[in-house]
Amino acid sequence: MSADEKLLTLNLKIWRQKDAKDKGQMVDYTLEGVSTDSSFLEMLDQLNEKLVGQGEEPVTFDHDCREGICGMCSLMINGQAHGPEKETTTCQLHMRSFNDGDTIVIEPWRARAFPVLKDLTVDRSAFDEIIMAGGYVNVNTGNAQDANEILIPKESADLAMDAAACIGCAACVASCKNASAMLFVGAKISQLALLPQGQVEAEQRAANMVAKMDELGFGNCTNEAECEASCPKGINISNIARMNKEFLKSAVKSKS
C-alpha cells in the first residue's frame, strides 16, 4: 500500500512445543516474499499457509482483534515483548521494522504463572484470578445513582483512564526480568483508587489482589521499568508506586 513496499526474505527461529508437557525447541524456517506492509502476524499467517501447504502443522499463536486492543497477541520478538517498536502490540508491528535477510527469534511469554500450552500460546488465566481477587467495584446492576452525582476531577479521571488503558496482554510480565505482574496489578488498583467509586473497598482490594499475585508465583518488582517500556499502552510505573502506597495503607489500617 505504501509507495515503498518491499519484499523480504526472513530467517525465523520459532519456539515449537507440541503441548504443555512437551519439552519444546527452537526451529528454523525461511520465509520469502514478505511484504513490508504486512503486519507481524500476517507474516506468521503467511508462514502457516506455507506450512499447511507442505502438510506440516502450523505455528500456534494467540491473536484476535489485530488492532491492538484485545490484548490477546503476545510474542517475544528478538528478545523484546511485542518487538522493537514503542507502544505497539505485535499485531500492530509491521514488517517494515525489519530488513531483508534478518533473523527473527520468536518465543512465547515466559513466566511460572503462564505455562506454555502449545508453540507460542500461553495460559494467562492467572490475570483473571488476580482481577477476581478484587479488581472491581462491588456494585450490583440497578444500584447506581445518576452518573453526574459522582463528580470526578478531570485530572483524576484522566489518570484513572491512563491506568485503565491496560489491555491485559502481560507484556509487563514477559519483559520483566523477574516476571513480576506489578504493572498489571498496579494499573487496576490505581485506576480504582483514583476514583471515588473505588474508594470504599480500596484497602481490601490492594491487600487481596497483591496476595493473589504473590500466591500465583509472579516475581518481585525491582523498579527497572522495563514493563513500562514494553507496555503497548505506555502505562506508567507510578501506578506501581500507587499500589505500594495503597497496600501499605491497608497493612497499617487493617484490623487483622
Q: Which residues 6+ apart lie within 8 Å of 128 measured at CB?
A: none
Which residue among 191, 202, 203, 232 contacts another protein (CB under 8 A)?
191
Q: How far is the CB of 111 from another protein (least distance, A)?
A: 6
If one asks whether residue 31 binds another protein (CB under 8 A), the answer comes out as no
- Residue 177: all three cell numbers together: 526480568
Phi-psi region of 242 (alpha: psi -120 to 50; beta: other; left: phi over 0): alpha
If one asks whether residue 182 binds another protein (CB under 8 A), the answer comes out as yes
Q: What is the CA radius of gyration of the chain?
A: 21
Classify 140 as helix, strand or coil: coil
If one asks whether residue 143 binds another protein (CB under 8 A), the answer comes out as yes
Footprint (CB under 8 A) of another protein, residues 216-245: 217-230, 237-238, 240-245
Which residue among 28, 53, 101, 253 contacts another protein (CB under 8 A)?
53
How far lies 56's CA from each of 20, 23, 52, 78, 204, in Å?
20, 19, 5, 24, 51
Give the residues across from 134 on adjacent strands.
none
Footprint (CB under 8 A) of another protein, residues 84-103: 84-86, 88, 92, 94, 96
Which residue among 10, 40, 118, 235 contacts another protein (CB under 8 A)?
118
Between CA 42 and CA 44 the distance in angstroms is 5
The residue (of 10 and 237) whose beta carbon lies closer to another protein is 237
The residue (of 10 and 179) whose beta carbon lies closer to another protein is 179
Which residue among 10, 75, 195, 235 contacts another protein (CB under 8 A)?
195
Q: How far is the CB of 255 from another protein (least distance, A)?
A: 9
